[in-house]
Structure 1
Amino acid sequence: MVLTYRVLLTGVGGFVGSHLARQLLAEGHDVTGLISPSTDRWRIRDIESRLSIVESDLENVAAVEDLIQTARPEICIHLAWRGWSGRAAAETNFTSLSGSLELLRLIQKIGCERFVAAGTCFEYDLQYEQLVETTPLNPHDVYGACKKALFEIAQEFSNLTGLRVLTPRLFYSYGPYEDERRLVPSTMLRLLKGETAELTPGLQVRDYLHVEDAAAAIWSAATSRIDGAVNIALGEPTTVAEIAETIGDLLGRPDLILLGARDCPENEPMRVLADASLLRRDIGWAPRYSLRDGLAHTLAWWQTWAGCV
């Protein structure tokens, strides 16, 4: 017998959230999506009618407490967050943190049993060669510090209240519906137009995971008995150059990949690699896509989406 859940999903209109929503609906779960009124819903247009939508910014979540309580969620998966690295995004990160803490309080108040709040690899001390869940936390920007604060406060709140809390720490994801400015889609779209992709030398080591696999991993972790933190990653190293060269090879245009045309951004970490043993061994998750297969799948989607068949 397959268990179904009532799920509150914040960030349902986002990159990872939209893919997780599709998976949950496909499995027959009852999904209530919390979405900001200002969010462009292009990623969920095909599934929006099957979702129960609650419109609210994260910082105003208390105003829709009655609607959330009516949904009676058994699991809250909190993916919504505005703010990234850099000084300009500091205030936005602060707002996301305060709204997340208000959501945490509300979830416990209405009797939800599980709070799953997305973390990030940037909570870790990135000087370590491979990042395991017990690696020391030492963020180097406001974004990572705010995510770390949410993790630590949620853990202490769990100790006080008994609410089961999990932080899936996301590494690097790619796939359909990704922001066009990021590495994989920007490279694909330039090559599809016959333009060169001017990149750094590409020596940065990363841990990339197809977004459908990332969504499946989050759900597997959410429904497991694991509390605390879990890395959401493939656990296999690849370089930016290897990703770009694979895209060039898939399109038959390796000549358009110009490695070394740009300098590596200042202070960019050269190695971010997860240990995914907990996710694979204890939770039992396994990826659907290899890197090459995932890039091929993503490329086919962009060819259709961009009309570049």
Structure 2
Amino acid sequence: MAKQNYYGSFNPSAAAKALKMADRYFCQITEDGTIYAGSGYVLFKLTPHDYAAIVQPVACCEAGNWTIDRNGKSESNIDAARIFSEAVKTAQNAADLQSCPLVINCKKDKNPAAAYYNAEADFVALYNPAYLAAFPGAAIRASSACSPAIMYNGGEAVGLVMPIRAEPKAARAVKAYFTEADDDNDNNAEAEKLRGQLAARNAELLEARDKIKALRGEINDLQAEVCELSTVSAEAVPAADNKPEPKTAAEIIAARWAEVDGLTATIKGAQTAAPVVWLAGDTKPHAKAIEADGGKWSAKKNAYYFRVA
């Protein structure tokens, strides 16, 4: 007497988990005793021993023609045997899929998808790894990226897994992984293009660096002018009537611009080592003169400022 197959084609815990993941799962038993059980995402071809180890602990009932969903158990009209048979016929002449080690994330799924490639038909197919885990060591065949994948163990079809829709970027990444050796010329051309873009970008960065260097030189010159202003004698700076004579560089700058009609000069941080003179009011007519003296515009405060080192 031939030895029965005690779920040798399946990982019982992973297969049971695959059924629990669905809102609805079903069962069909054929006249020859073959049992088909699954959901809209995975389908198992089982012996009675497989059923007892995988499905019965989840469904808590004997094999039969039934469907279990949120409303409980009911009679099933799903012809799972026909669905499985037609899918096997479609995939039987397809080449085995090649597993891709790349991590592929899908927007609709929290977990990464398992990616596969068919070199003969040049397509990429993605699957939920939780369903594939139910078929350890199985060979996988599919006729297209959107058709069911048939799981083979020892040359026998034992299950079916529905694919996940592959996004264009993910498909291109997987194809590139497998076709890199065949696309050396295209890759070299692409590499040269990228090198040219990189060289242009480096030239832009060098130009920006030179501009920054020039700006730093201008800042140093302005700081030197401020230092010179701070040493100007009191006699060189005319004092306003009934106002204390300015002594510091910040006071000198403030006093100069305070005399301009429509402008208000304020010193912030006068007692610190780096006070700031703010010019507010009608600054627009004097913008060029202010900027020529080193003033900077603050859009946030809608005013010009002089930073005194």
| Pair in the same fold by TM > 0.5 | no
Q: Which is higher, the Rg of structure 1 or of structure 2?
A: 2
Q: TM-score range by the shorter chain?
A: under 0.3
Larger relative CO (CA 8 A, sep 6+): 1 or 2?
A: 1
TM-score by length of 2: 0.20
Higher helix share: 1
Higher strand share: 2
TM-score by length of 1: 0.20
